[in-house]
Structure 1
């Protein structure tokens, strides 16, 4: 069961990668510049490593669902809800990497009223 849950969240993460790649290509065509390339690479590698290691650990220990697992599942569900809220809010300027357009819009609505970086603080931190 836990491996299925990890696989489901990993699949959702891959779906967000597909969206990101599509948006990044469009942003590059519009003259956007990428910043923090090394940070983006390390963050991607960290994500992959965590999912792989979590799956191996669950398989090796034959982990079963318990109250701690439920708390983790709720936290992951919250993190992914935030991810897709951020994607919807930012629309075509959302990517996993940091791209800035020459006339880049500043978003101050939705979750961006709470924090300037909801994708990091409300998605990535709780997820990892």
Structure 2
């Protein structure tokens, strides 16, 4: 079951990544610009490391499905649902990278007004916490999450700067 679960989680994440790559190509072809490439790369690397590290830690621990795993599974499911909703809201402008399209439109939805960076706080962080809980990957959480949070703070800082510049230009 642990192998199938990991395969399912990784496959879903890869489907989102594949969709993002399609969106990125379309945005670049239409004159879009990417910002913060290094931080995006680091986020992708540490996200992947946390996934695999949690999986291997789960194998070593010989985990079984229990209440902690179920909580993790619920967090993962909710985080994916939030991601689908955010993709829906952002439409052609959504990617995992920090990009501004040549025809970019500021999305003035209540979620973005009330919660800055909802994708990070309602998708990415809960997803990783869910993965860690599902696989009982305490060491991965203790080491990986603080590193991820530092990189995520850099990403948020970059995104705030880009948004500030973008809003000035519209």
Q: Given the two structures, how large is their TM-score scaled by the length of structure 2?
A: 0.70
How far is 1:51 from its partner? 1.2
Aligned to 2:153: none
Q: Distance in 2 between matches of 1:99 and 1:83?
A: 17
Residue 104 of structure 1 corresponds to: 104
Give the drift of 1:110.
Answer: 5.7
Matched residue of 1:107: which SS? Answer: coil
The match for 2:22 is 22
Deviation at 1:117, TM superposition (A): 1.4
Work out whether residues 3 and 58 of structure 1, in 8 Å CA contact, stay in contact via their aligned partners in 2: no
> 1:99 aligns to what SS in structure 2?
strand
Greater relative CO, 1 or 2 (CA 8 Å, sep 6+):
1
Q: Is the 8 A contact 1:30 1:101 kept in 2?
A: yes
Larger helix proportion of the pair? 2
Secondary structure of the 2:99 match is strand
- The residue that corresponds to 2:53 in the other structure is 53
In structure 2, the CA distance between the partners of 1:16 and 1:110, relative to structure 1 (3 Å rule), is farther
**TM-score with structure 1 setting the length:** 0.92
Q: How does 1:1-128 map to 2 (within 5 A)?
A: 1-109=1-109, 111-128=111-128
Deviation at 1:5, TM superposition (A): 1.9
* 8 Å CA contact 1:86, 1:111 repeated in 2: no
Aligned CA RMSD, in angstroms, stands at 1.4
CA distance in 2 between partners of 1:88 and 1:101 (Å) = 17
Distance (whole Å) between structure 2 residues aligned to residue 74 and residue 110 of structure 1: 25
Q: 1:107 to 1:116 in 2, by over 3 A?
A: farther
- How many aligned positions are there? 128
In the TM superposition, residue 47 of structure 1 has moved relative to its aligned partner by 1.4
Where 1:11 maps in the other structure, the secondary structure is: helix
CA distance, structure 1, for counterparts of residue 9 and residue 110 of structure 2:
24
